[in-house]
Amino acid sequence: MEQNLIVEKNKENVASMFDDIAPSYDFLNHFLSLNIDKGWRKKAVKILSSYTPKSILDVATGTGDLAIAMLKLNPEKITGIDISKEMLEVGKKKITEIGKQQIIDLQQADAENIPFAENTFNAVTVAFGVRNFEHLDKGIKEIYRVLAVNGVFLILEFSRPKNNFLGWLFKFYFGQILPLIGRLFSKNKVAYKYLFQTVQQFPSGDEMKNKLSSLGFKNVSAKTLSMGIATIYTASK
């Protein structure tokens, strides 16, 4: 059953929540996931490697972890966009530290109004971002627009495990433990409760695949990770 989110999901609230948690985001992400998130991003990069994309758009790039991981693909250019200025600031610092500012360019922009021409990118990626879009369909349609014909769209997102016991464990960890630790370590007291709620209410598995197909994508497929805690969806234009 749908419950009201603890924070209303509009762009201003989402941007300001991520602005708040930006300084602790990377630490908490890796700590709370026991570094499993790094392996998931690696898997995403491996899947993309068969497409050898030259120009990549990473939507909701946040602090740039997926953008940085995609350097492995040796693309000419990676553009990362996000609505949170503070998340981007953390990302820019990391990119400067590794001297890759010529390849990775981070810009403040909205997934629902992407400031690029149609058919621009060979690959578009979103890691743990689509769940936060105010209007999911609008964001996905924009991604479709800027993706080149035959280009690949990859989403890495939490999903809900089908196994009952794992589903219970997942709910307990996400619903009870994670918000508690999040409250202790990050400036925003409700962000990690919001995370749990959005995961509970977001299209997962076949529902997400059907959405991508209905919005025009071809070759839609889903690969579950860590027994269904996360899923990588791929599709082409």
Ligand X SMILES: C[S@@+](CC[C@H](N)C(=O)[O-])C[C@H]1O[C@@H](n2cnc3c(N)ncnc32)[C@H](O)[C@@H]1O
Per CB under 6 A, residues contacting ligand X are 11, 14-15, 18, 60-62, 65-66, 81-84, 87, 110-112, 127-129, 132-133, 139
The residue (of 129 and 228) whose beta carbon lies closer to ligand X is: 129
CB of 26 to ligand X, least distance (A): 8
**Cα 59 to Cα 46, 63, 177, distances in angstroms:** 18, 11, 28
CB of 211 to ligand X, least distance (A): 16
CB of 139 to ligand X, least distance (A): 6
The residue (of 28 and 212) whose beta carbon lies closer to ligand X is: 28
CB of 56 to ligand X, least distance (A): 13
C-alpha count within 13 angstroms, C-beta hemisphere, residue 206: 1
The residue (of 66 and 212) whose beta carbon lies closer to ligand X is: 66
Asked if residues 151 and 237 have their Cβ atoms less than 8 Å apart, the reply is yes
The residue (of 32 and 66) whose beta carbon lies closer to ligand X is: 66
Per the rule left: phi > 0, alpha: psi between -120 and 50, beta: everything else, 10 is beta
Residue, CB closest to ligand X: 62
Q: Which residues of 202-216 are buried (b: 16+ CB within 10 A; e: fewer)?
A: bbbbeebbebbeeee
* DSSP symbols for 194-210: HHHHHHHHS--THHHHH
**Whole-angstrom Cα distance, residue 182 to residue 24?**
9
Asked if residues 96 and 76 have their Cβ atoms less than 8 Å apart, the reply is no
| Three-state DSSP state, 96 | helix
Which residue is listed with tokens 């990549």? 56
Strands (E), the chain: 55-59, 77-82, 104-108, 121-127, 147-158, 218-225, 230-236
CB of 40 to ligand X, least distance (A): 9
CB of 164 to ligand X, least distance (A): 27
The residue (of 162 and 187) whose beta carbon lies closer to ligand X is: 187
The residue (of 80 and 228) whose beta carbon lies closer to ligand X is: 80
